Chain A
């Protein structure tokens, strides 16, 4: 792990998805937070990005030469916190005191938390900001890259499609959009609420070079992300096929874990599966 401030610090170590999920459960249990399943579906995506692709400084989340990871689906923020804990940007106190009076970690992504670049609890904000960052970096001749994790439910929002048009028109090939296609949104199946399929074809039609892969397979994710290393004049898109609640048998595919809090018994059962 490279660590000197002022030099690119691409971290070449894998993050253990099981450990990340345990951190999420620990926070959710201590804070009695909802949105466990929203975090679980992006665990591998975050693990691969922080473990293999993003350049960042383990001692300084605001390192000026960092690559950007924009979490546009702010509901998955506990997956980010879990990575921050592994990196060292958060400590045990932060996890154990989640949602306690006066603490600074919120239940949705907030721009003022170091490491979180944007406020994205209101959906449809992160991708437009990611486009602005990508445009600015290109204008500066920088090789820094921008990754943006969006939700499939979030793709209901109009500004997401505005942003895709813009990204393609401006040839933002330093931007990779990763869709957490976990098949659910708050109140039901994505296809039942407001159908999006064929999602990959839509991204392709909007001008993105698009790859579809298993969003819980680190090797597949790494292969997909690596394919965007060489700029091609088009933004990249990965439709990561995931499952909401993935990682704990009784949560996977059960949308109640979007909004259900963890009892002592459930917490114990879930943790034992991840030990």
Chain B
């Protein structure tokens, strides 16, 4: 996914003189391409993220199309007020890339981990929130964000997860990564970002459906239909259980005006409300939250078995 991102950045710089890439002294090899080919369009603003958002706002005010890169722990978390006031209030076309979202920086500790970015941005007016799982989704999200006339945040989680989409995507609508003959009336897993790959693998193995959600805000309306047609929905995300994809889906279901049919049961598998305690691999950090591959599969199996026992 990072190679594709680097290519997208270089292509944007090449195609659009207004494109300026800003980094708060992070990114390393990600910016080798643009620094070699379009050095003037890359600005390392230094370890000064608050100023970086203000600078991006100022550049956008005079016609540039800035893209701001940081680790998700810093962009958006450290600079949330700058995003709200400098970017969102004036609806400026600035792209934000939050890298290493979730528990990717498992060895570096809590300062570099971020399970709250979606929840922090969703209530802000004007900003769109994307959470691509791999290169095809990233490309679709990037294309949409580049064309937008408002701020956009692209959440970048674990970058080397297996590919799930066989071909490029036309847009950022929810996309089935596995379908079954019994989609309607059966179990549907809904996942975003890093959790799409393990959920898809589980779905293929166990014969349930799986949907990936690359755009979380605004939440696509189709998700409500998918939920209504399923007997049981399980939402899986490497994000806090509050304020992320599960919350978005439950809110959407509750707000449906044509309610009458029962609201579907929507389960949540997400990060626990706890900081990680141990170092080690990404899987080890996920294990603290019950989301390591084997734990995830076991929990999904158990939820599905319970729903079958209850006659769903």
Number of B residues with CB within 8 Å of any CB on chain A:
27
User: Cβ of B125 < 8 Å from any Cβ of A?
Assistant: no
Partner pick for B51 among A111, A117, A166, CB 8 A cutoff:
A166
**Pair A162/B59 contact, Cβ less than 8 Å:** no
Question: B81 contacts A135, CB within 8 Å?
Answer: no
Segment from A41-49, A125-133, A235-243 that makes contact with B: A125-133
> Nearest residue in A to B55 (C-beta to C-beta)?
A132
Residue pair A165, B48 in contact (C-beta under 8 Å): yes
- Distance A134 CA – B56 CA, assembled complex (angstroms): 11
Q: Is A32 engaged at the interface, CB distance under 8 Å to the other chain?
A: no
Interface code A117-128, partner B: CB below 8 Å = 1, 0 otherwise?
Answer: 111001011011
Count of A residues near B, CB < 8 Å?
29
Secondary structure class of chain B's binding surface, majority of residues: helix
Q: Do residues A125 and B54 form an inter-chain contact, with CB atoms below 8 A?
A: yes
Task: Give Cα distance in the complex from A159 to B45, angstroms.
Answer: 12
Binary contact track B93-121/A, C-beta < 8 Å → 1, others 0 = 00000000000000000000000000000
Do the beta carbons of B62 and A129 come within 8 Å of each other?
Answer: no
* A159 and B62 contacting across the interface, CB-CB below 8 Å: no
Chain B residues in 8 Å Cβ range of A166 = 45-46, 48, 51, 55
Other-chain contact of A131, B40, B58, B63 (Cβ < 8 Å): B58
A114 interface residue, CB < 8 Å from B? Answer: no
Contact of B85 with A163 in the complex, beta carbons under 8 Å: no
Q: Does B247 contact A (CB under 8 A)?
A: no
Distance in angstroms from A185 CB to nearest chain B CB is: 19
A219 to B61, CA, bound (A): 32
Given contacts A125-B54, A163-B54, contact A136 B85 (CB under 8 A): no
Report B-chain residues with C-beta under 8 Å of the C-beta of A143.
none
Provide the residues of chain A in CB contact with B296, threshold 8 Å: none
Q: Is the beta-carbon distance between B57 and A129 smaller than 8 angstroms?
A: yes
Contact yes or no, B54 A128, CB < 8 A? yes
Say yes or no: A129-B50 contact (C-beta < 8 A), given A135-B55, A135-B59, A140-B62. Answer: no
0/1 string, B68-94, CB within 8 A of A gives 1: 000000000000011001100110000
Judging by beta carbons under 8 Å apart, are A137 and B62 in contact? yes
Bound form: Cα–Cα A128–B61 in Å: 13
Instruction: Judge whether A102 is part of the interface by a CB distance below 8 angstroms.
Output: no
Write the chain A residue with the least CB distance to B51: A162
Q: At the interface, yes or no: A158 with Cβ under 8 Å from chain B?
A: yes
Judge whether B240 is part of the interface by a CB distance below 8 angstroms: no
CB atoms of A133 and B50 under 8 A apart: no
Contact A159 B50 (CB under 8 A): yes
A132 and B54 in contact, given A125-B82, A165-B46 (Cβ under 8 angstroms): yes
**Once the chains are docked, how many angstroms separate the CA of A166 from the CA of B48?**
9
Contact across chains for A136 and B90 when beta carbons are under 8 A apart: no
Residues of B within 8 A of A131 (CB): 51, 54-55, 58
Known A136-B64, A166-B46, A166-B48: A128·B89 in contact at CB below 8 Å = no
Check A119/B89 contact, CB under 8 A, given A129-B57, A136-B58, A166-B55.
yes
Contacts of A118 in B (CB 8 A): 57, 86
Are the C-beta atoms of A119 and B85 separated by less than 8 Å? yes
Taking the nearest CB of chain B, how far is it from the CB of A175, in angstroms?
10
B53 touches A (CB below 8 Å): yes
Contacts of A127 in B (CB 8 A): 54
Q: A118-B86, A119-B89 are contacts. A132–B56 as well, Cβ < 8 Å?
A: yes
Closest B residue by C-beta to A169: B46
> CB-CB < 8 A to B45: which residues of A?
166
Best-surrounded residue of B43, B55, B64 (most CB of chain A within 10 A): B55
Asked whether A133 lies within 8 Å of B58 as measured between CB atoms, the reply is yes
One of A119, A130, A162 near B50 (C-beta < 8 A): A162
CB neighbours (8 Å) of A140 from chain B are: 62-63
Structural contact, B48 and A129, CB atoms closer than 8 A: no
What is the bound-complex CA distance between A165 and B24, given in angstroms?
13
Question: Is A112 among interface residues, defined by CB-CB distance under 8 A?
Answer: yes
The answer to whether A130 and B58 touch (CB under 8 A), given A159-B51, A165-B48, is yes
Measured CA separation A122–B60 after assembly (Å): 20
B binding-site residues for A, Cβ under 8 Å: 40, 43, 45-46, 48, 50-64, 66, 81-82, 85-86, 89-90
Report 16 cross-chain contacts, Cβ distance below 8 Å, ordered by A residue: A110-B89, A112-B89, A118-B57, A118-B86, A122-B81, A127-B54, A129-B57, A131-B58, A132-B55, A132-B57, A132-B60, A135-B58, A136-B62, A159-B54, A162-B46, A166-B45
A-B pairs with lowest CB-CB distance, top 7: A132-B58, A128-B54, A162-B51, A162-B48, A132-B55, A136-B62, A133-B58
